[in-house]
Structure 1
């Protein structure tokens, strides 16, 4: 979300992709609200045996990476939950597997079918658990979290439920799973394994992702007081030409924007060009004093976030 907000600011209001990026932000915010509602609802869950709930689970095996909205791991089964916060009349064409929302004037707006994402994540969890917990059944469901959605032509061959019913559905899945129980120690081991396998998703810079030229971005250091770009470096501080206020470390935010939008590494030259700095020596001092990882020396020296190592 931080990257999308930075992209929106640096594109300005007149860019051709401005409305598209706003819609992307709206979708992400809606998705996060839906996941939050699901977690609150899961606070009501009670099962005969122990269980663990994991949210926003990012896992990988080699090049196979998944991001699961929610995992409910019990002593009988592992339940993959994919939340979708979508309103309106949602339709499923069982013959073509198409998923769309019916708008006014019978306009059909298509969306990716969440069934395929759910099946992919269930397959992944089966593969992940096969070596250490082969007896543990893996199942799952799609949870529609919006209060104002209506599911039309609900598919019969995979589980899709509204949020209000998910507790009873999880209890049903639990009761119809294998009676072989995991011990408390095994469940603790499984929890440790899932937490240990979690990996932070690394997305490409957003200009690359959305195929936006970096030349379309507004360069410069943003004033943290008034939000105007183009602060000037005077001696050891930045001065805003609009509000006349100063800030010594305003360039840090600009470098973070660079990593999110353009590239995950930055050279002295790229830093000077993006922030509007003339002195190569001043730029070098600022880069070396930031919490960055330095690579190489001389003209080829570049910097990355330490977390990107």
Structure 2
């Protein structure tokens, strides 16, 4: 298996994490942000579980494309958790990381989750992945890609989930499986599809085309949850415990007064928060306000590694995302 697009934490999830750090607990929409974060984080963990089982398979001429969000021929977006490309077949995998008891109704196309006294209704994952299939087929036809069998799987990734059918007359669809069954299922699919429809070089070219067309979901989180920039918590947060108790030492590093972490780059993680939540450009005065830095010269020094445009008070710094 070859990942030509690595699965990384989605930008939307990174933005929700930053919002949880920066939006005060007293904000009326803080719980909505937390609920959305837990939902997105659960989905991401489920997708990583699928990656683990896929990694156990032989490394043949197979390409994996995680988290593809594409525009269909009608200019609407559709997203696939994992797309598997092989010369013999293409496969879309939809991951569901729900825990508790799932009751599946194939007549109403509903998936009902019971967890304690909590009841939640989800859309049919099989129907969902079939819709993705139809949209991908149309898109591939516009690329003049040789037709290969396009298969689908809906994968339950949470080990603690139980699945029941609404009635005894209903059967579990053959493409709805648990994550631990994925290697055997893929081996079965591989040996039942022996004809090769597309050369491996063309397969890689297709993968690169799809990556170029990828448009990750990237909303303005402050607007989405009705949070004003001025309401955000200012200061440099600890990259380890996330408390806003970092203090600058004379030696040039920051020390967290909560967990004692020492870091020279702690300020960069707070710049990340600004980039994710507010803007990708910043001026010295706004930088000092957001990070609670008093001295203008100190701010200039910390911003020295970023590209800048303009002069004096009009100087604008262009932020890039920092990865440790």
The reply to whether TM is greater than 0.5 is yes
1:126 and 2:141 are equivalent in the alignment: no
Instruction: Indicate the SS of the match to 1:181.
Output: coil
Tell me which of the two structures has the higher relative contact order, counting C-alpha pairs closer than 8 angstroms and 6 or more residues apart: 2
1:215 aligns with 230
Give, in angstroms, the shift of residue 166 of structure 1: 2.9
| C-alpha distance in structure 1 between counterparts of 2:243 and 2:116, whole Å | 41
Task: Tell me if structure 2 keeps the 8 A contact 1:83–1:145.
Answer: yes
2:18 aligns with 6
* Aligned pairs for 1:37-116 within 5 A: 37-45=49-57, 50-61=60-71, 65-104=77-116, 107-115=118-126
* Aligned pairs for 1:1-309 within 5 A: 1-45=13-57, 50-61=60-71, 65-104=77-116, 107-115=118-126, 117-130=128-141, 131-153=143-165, 159-174=175-190, 179=195, 181-194=197-210, 196-197=211-212, 199=214, 201=216, 203-223=218-238, 228-229=243-244, 237=252, 249-280=265-296, 282-287=298-303, 289-290=304-305, 292-295=306-309, 301-306=315-320
Structure 2: give runs of 5+ residues left out of the alignment. 1-12
Shift of the 116–297 alpha-carbon distance from structure 1 to 2, 3 Å rule, reads farther
| C-alpha distance in structure 2 between counterparts of 1:42 and 1:278, whole Å | 51
Give, in angstroms, the shift of residue 72 of structure 1: 2.0
Instruction: Indicate the SS of the match to 1:35.
Output: helix
| C-alpha distance in structure 1 between counterparts of 2:213 and 2:151, whole Å | 20
Shift of the 301–61 alpha-carbon distance from structure 1 to 2, 3 Å rule, reads farther
Question: What's the TM-score once normalised by structure 2's chain length?
Answer: 0.72
Please identify, of 111-120 and 244-253, the stretch whose mean Cα deviation from structure 2 is larger.
Answer: 244-253
| C-alpha distance in structure 2 between counterparts of 1:267 and 1:123, whole Å | 47
Give, in angstroms, the shift of residue 81 of structure 1: 0.4
Task: Tell me if structure 1 keeps the 8 A contact 2:89–2:151.
Answer: yes
Give, in angstroms, the shift of residue 187 of structure 1: 3.5
Give, in angstroms, the shift of residue 108 of structure 1: 2.5
Give, in angstroms, the shift of residue 78 of structure 1: 0.5
Structure 1: give runs of 5+ residues left out of the alignment. none
| C-alpha distance in structure 2 between counterparts of 1:157 and 1:245, whole Å | 51
| C-alpha distance in structure 1 between counterparts of 2:296 and 2:287, whole Å | 10
Question: How large is the RMSD of aligned CA atoms in angstroms?
Answer: 4.0
Please identify, of 23-32 and 212-221, the stretch whose mean Cα deviation from structure 2 is larger.
Answer: 23-32
Give, in angstroms, the shift of residue 80 of structure 1: 0.5
Task: Tell me if structure 2 keeps the 8 A contact 1:60–1:197.
Answer: no
Task: Tell me if structure 2 keeps the 8 A contact 1:265–1:304.
Answer: yes
| C-alpha distance in structure 1 between counterparts of 2:264 and 2:58, whole Å | 53
| C-alpha distance in structure 2 between counterparts of 1:228 and 1:44, whole Å | 39
| C-alpha distance in structure 2 between counterparts of 1:134 and 1:241, whole Å | 58
Instruction: Indicate the SS of the match to 1:41.
Output: helix
Question: What's the TM-score once normalised by structure 1's chain length?
Answer: 0.75
Structure 1, residues 46-104: CA drift from partner, whole Å, max 9, x if none?
69xx5414152435358655543222212221000011111222123334433321244
| C-alpha distance in structure 1 between counterparts of 2:307 and 2:78, whole Å | 28
Please identify, of 161-170 and 243-252, the stretch whose mean Cα deviation from structure 2 is larger.
Answer: 243-252
Structure 1, residues 121-163: CA drift from partner, whole Å, max 9, x if none?
3234324432242322322111111222222336777832222
| C-alpha distance in structure 1 between counterparts of 2:290 and 2:16, whole Å | 18
